[in-house]
Amino acid sequence: MTHSEPLADTHTLPAGINLVATPLGNIADASDRLRQALADADIIAAEDTRRARNLASALGIEPRGKFVSNFDHNEDSRTSALIAAAKSGKKVIVVTDAGMPVVSDPGLAVVAAAHDAEVPVTCIPGASAVTTALALSGLGVGHFCFDGFAPRKSGARRAWLESLVAEKRACCFFESPHRLATTLADAAEILGPQRRASVSRELTKRFEETKRATLGELAEWAADGVRGEITVVIEGAGETMREVSTEDLVERVEELAAAGDRLKDACKKVAAEAGLSKHRDLYQAVLAAREENR
């Protein structure tokens, strides 16, 4: 790749709103631009001011700017003051506890308001749990969607998973270690136990681990408990599915039904395994086959 213009000066923090990525865990991932931003900012808007101060201290930096809190529950009220400061020529940086601001972290309200007010916005890139987990997954992630945190409530979570049955893109999301086993069990049931996925925990930290397997295998693995900050990637529909005939699918449904599954439940399972978006079509095919074989 060639550049027609010289690269920007990486040692100058501009006035305006600056989104600044911070390390996920390994302090060595701190960039020179992050160090410079912490040193030069007039205002450091942090998700947790204590953690931001600790980060600066660990990097051997004594910020000259003022620390202000900017988290989910006060961001809306904090935004106007940050925009006013940026408009007056102040250098404002926005940092979260780890990773990239805005991506399931505070920062969106400030960025949106800055654009509306025609205040300059720039980003100092760096660590992101999303792209790190995608790269580590070993799955087909050339096209992907990011869904933030998985829904907490069972009904909402299952409805969300239903929406992924025919999703061709890989899906990346965050999950609490306390709910991981339940979410993976639901995913194995709804998306099929053979659909592949990966679970990454404690990215860049001492106990980092990425486990890639089928959803059925991962659900069994997680049943004993998994600790740490979790990022999950589920492969898109059709990536590992072989072409099967309707006759094969009907036969599989009848096997499950003979083993004790309700017909509709068997159809849902087989449709998920085959990457079909509608189990009702398979249900009708089973009924038609039964009628023909009478």
Residue 2, pLDDT score: 47
DSSP the chain: ---SSPPP-TT-PPSEEEEE-B-SS-GGG--HHHHHHHHH-SEEEESSHHHHHHHHHHTT----SEEEE--TTTHHHHHHHHHHHHHTT-EEEEE-SSB-TTSSSS-HHHHHHHHHTT--EEEE----HHHHHHHHH-S--SSEEEEEEPPSSHHHHHHHHHTTTT--SEEEEEE-TTTHHHHHHHHHHHH-TTSEEEEEESTTSTT-EEEEEEHHHHHHHHTT---S-EEEEEPPTTSSPPP--HHHHHHHHHHHHHTT--HHHHHHHHHHHTT-S-HHHHHHHHHHHHHHT-
CA–CA gap between residue 160 and residue 181 (Å, rounded): 16
Judge contact between 136 and 198, C-beta under 8 A. Answer: yes
Residue 242, pLDDT score: 46
Residue 244, pLDDT score: 59
Residue 268, pLDDT score: 84
Nearest to 100 by CA among 34, 21, 19, 172: 21
Full pLDDT tens readout for the chain, 294 residues: 445 555 555 568 999 999 999 999 999 999 999 999 999 999 999 999 999 999 999 999 999 999 999 998 998 899 999 999 999 999 999 999 999 999 989 999 999 999 999 999 999 999 999 999 999 999 999 999 999 999 999 999 999 999 999 899 999 999 999 999 999 999 999 999 989 999 999 999 999 999 999 999 999 999 999 999 999 999 998 754 444 577 888 988 999 999 999 998 888 888 877 766 667 888 889 999 988 887
**Which residue matches tokens 């701190």?**
30
Q: Which is it for strands 121-124 and 170-175: parallel, antiparallel or unpaired?
A: unpaired
Nearest to 63 by CA among 71, 53, 73: 53
* Chain centroid, CA 48 distance in Å: 21
